[in-house]
């Protein structure tokens, strides 16, 4: 069998080579990444795959091909020096910027991007007795590309902060959680600032230390019990009046 030293393909190409009952699939996957209306952060990624294995890709930010297998590395070295990289870079404008400009106008400018639901809650801290932990969560946002920042008295907190990755909900929406370890101080203000494409000016949510999660739950439970008791009382009074109205009084001898 001859060895492939170089592989050149058209812009969009997919083939299947059948040998007996086996099938081999070669595909090319073009991606345009951006999170801004003016497309200043636009990035073009083109992946080359064989049987679901990515062996080479083009990255417009680096403006080069990157190989991930022996064949991919060999082709990347050739394509980066023979003028191919310049031809593929044109797709950043011709393919991505052209089409994404249409999508941006038709979708992003309509102000219908799902905005994140933002919540701050306290969490138990098992390893430290004198420190507390807050969790800032952003739910149900799209697209990816969000930033959560903790502020104490208006100043950004850079220490004792950990965050999860943007987690997919499975319905095109995402969620993310940021944790802050801190030692409570009287009179301080703690808030979580969220920046996302759906929030042009960002959004800041303040933490209210006077209403902890436990207190909030107690208030909700107490209020629910009061309402339930009131309903039972009213139902009892109505039932008693109905019974009294239908009763016939017989004089005693």
- Residues 178-202, mean pLDDT to the nearest whole number: 91
In this prediction, residue 3 has a pLDDT band, given cuts at 50, 70 and 90, of very low
- 229 three-class SS: helix
Angstrom distance (rounded) from CA 9 to CA 65 = 14
In this prediction, residue 127 has a pLDDT band, given cuts at 50, 70 and 90, of low
- The correct CATH number of 15-109 out of 2.30.30.100, 3.30.70.120, 3.10.320.10, 3.20.10.10 is 3.10.320.10
Segments making up each domain of the chain, as ranges: 15-109, 117-206
Angstrom distance (rounded) from CA 30 to CA 28 = 7
Handedness of CA 30, 35, 37, 39 (dihedral sign): negative
Q: What is the pLDDT of residues 128-147, one digit of tens each?
A: 566 789 999 999 998 889 99
Beta bridge partners of 176: 138
Lowest mean pLDDT across 6-20, 31-45, 55-69, 102-116: 6-20
* Residue 238, phi then psi, degrees to nearest 5: -60, -45
**Fold match between 15-109 and 117-206?**
no
Of 129 and 213, which is predicted with more confidence? Answer: 129
- The correct CATH number of 117-206 out of 3.30.420.40, 2.60.40.10, 1.10.3720.10, 3.90.1510.10 is 2.60.40.10
Angstrom distance (rounded) from CA 253 to CA 247 = 19
Lowest mean pLDDT across 1-15, 128-142, 214-228, 233-247: 1-15
């Amino acid at each position: 069998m001859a060895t492939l030293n170089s592989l050149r393909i058209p812009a969009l190409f997919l083939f299947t080579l059948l040998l007996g009952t086996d099938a081999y699939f070669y595909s090319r996957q073009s991606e345009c990444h951006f999170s801004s209306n003016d497309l200043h952060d636009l990035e073009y990624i083109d992946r080359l795959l064989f049987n679901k294995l990515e062996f080479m890709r083009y990255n417009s930010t680096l403006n080069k091909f990157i190989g991930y297998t022996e064949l991919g590395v060999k082709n990347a070295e050739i394509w980066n020096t023979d003028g191919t990289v310049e031809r593929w870079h044109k797709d950043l404008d011709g393919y991505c910027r052209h089409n994404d400009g249409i999508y941006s106008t038709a979708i992003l400018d309509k102000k219908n991007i799902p905005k994140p639901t933002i919540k701050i809650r306290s969490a138990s801290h098992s390893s430290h007795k004198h420190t507390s932990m807050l969790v800032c969560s952003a739910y149900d946002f799209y697209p990816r590309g969000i930033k959560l920042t903790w502020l104490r008295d208006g100043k950004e907190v850079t220490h004792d902060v950990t965050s999860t990755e943007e987690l997919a909900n499975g319905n095109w929406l995402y969620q993310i959680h940021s944790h802050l370890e801190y030692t409570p101080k009287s009179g301080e203000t703690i808030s979580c600032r969220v920046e996302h494409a759906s929030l042009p000016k960002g959004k800041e949510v303040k933490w209210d230390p006077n209403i902890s999660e436990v207190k909030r739950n107690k208030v909700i439970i107490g209020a629910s019990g009061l309402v339930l008791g009131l309903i039972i009382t009213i139902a009892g009074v109505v039932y008693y009046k109905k019974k009294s109205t239908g009763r016939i009084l017989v004089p005693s001898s």
